[in-house]
Amino acid sequence: MTEIKEILFTREEIQKKVQELGKIISNDYKGKKLILVGILKGAVPFMADLMREIDLDLEYDFMDVSSYSGTTSVGEVRILKDISTHIEGKDVLFVEDIIDTGLTLSYLTDLFKSRAANSVAITTLLSKPKRRKIDIYVKYIGYEIEDKFVVGYGMDYNEKFRSLPYIGVLDESILHK
């Protein structure tokens, strides 16, 4: 695709990374009541691949929040769709495509602790540590990346590029159109 100027992670690299994360999570959550909570819409491909690499009985659900518009974060987190599963006493693992400022997951972590989850942790395929505005602990990170705007494997620019099987960097010229 011509709008993609650089491929950061190929389909094969992502698959290997997700398998590694799945193995570690399977070990860590043995005997626990794991529930994966995916953040719509970006986490859908990661969620679908990761759950099938976790060799445990688990539940999963989704939330939709708004905290991002265009290419810059805004502070406020709004819940557009909540989970429909009971989480009291369960071990919640949030599944995110990319953590940037950390504001979204910091808010959701606090919210779920107040809902009496047994534990609350986060996995993200990508993380941009330099962009953090709030210090949050991310238990499982696929890759740390530089401050570049990426798309593909669930991640969009104005709803485009989510279905790409790889992760790429957009040509800056399209960001300002």
125 binds, among ligand 5GP, Mg ion, none (CB under 5 to 8 A by kind): none
- Between CA 103 and CA 81 the distance in angstroms is 18
Per CB under 5 A, does 39 bind Mg ion? yes
149 binds, among Mg ion, ligand 5GP, none (CB under 5 to 8 A by kind): ligand 5GP
- Between CA 114 and CA 125 the distance in angstroms is 26
From 3-11, 12-20, 25-33, 93-101, span contacting ligand 5GP (CB under 6 A): 93-101
Largest CA distance in the chain: 51
| Binding-site size, ligand 5GP (CB under 6 A) | 19
Per CB under 6 A, does 93 bind ligand 5GP? no
Could you confirm whether 28 is annotated as catalytic? no
Per CB under 6 A, does 98 bind ligand 5GP? yes
- Between CA 51 and CA 73 the distance in angstroms is 28
Residue 109 identity: T
Question: 148: which 2 tokens?
Answer: 């570049």
- Between CA 106 and CA 104 the distance in angstroms is 6
What residues are labeled active site?
Answer: 100
Q: Interface with ligand 5GP by CB under 6 A: which residues?
A: 42, 67-68, 73, 96-104, 149-151, 155-157
